[in-house]
Amino acid sequence: MRWVAEVAATEYEDAAAAIVRVAQCTIVNAKWHLCQEWAIARLAKHRGLACVALFPDHPVVQLIAYNGQLLGRARWHRTGTTARWIATQEPIAHEIGNYRSLHGAARALAQAAGMPHRVVTCLPDQAWE
């Protein structure tokens, strides 16, 4: 009988752990969407090609927009001694290439969207509003 109780307890622990994982994923997803909304709102105030960090103080993921229209993202990726910016288009997150600079990734996203633009403005990090 003790074995049955241990099996039942283990099943409850497994179920509880699964529920906690789902809750954690939900929180991370909600934070991602909130940060993206705030970043897009900042980009909407800027004319031309611009980028801003998705998460304040963490520039590894940048949102790229042209005249406030979201074009895609660029993320910093390091493999061994090679570091590149990976550009992905919205809304399907299709990778269009990797670039040595954030500005190069932003220009490539603009060109892929049919909006070639040479000047890229990087908005400064700002605390969440």
CA dihedral in degrees (62, 64, 70, 73; nearest 10)? Answer: -50
| Residue 128: band (very low, low, confident or very high) from pLDDT cuts 50, 70, 90 | very low
CA angle 7, 13, 17 (to 5 degrees): 145
The answer, yes or no, to whether the previous bond of 91 is cis (omega within 30 of 0) is yes
Can you give the pTM of this predicted structure?
Answer: 0.77
Q: Return the percent helix, strand and coil in the chain, to nearest 5.
A: 40, 35, 25
What does the pLDDT look like over 34-75, one tens digit per residue?
998 999 999 999 999 999 999 888 889 999 999 989 999 999
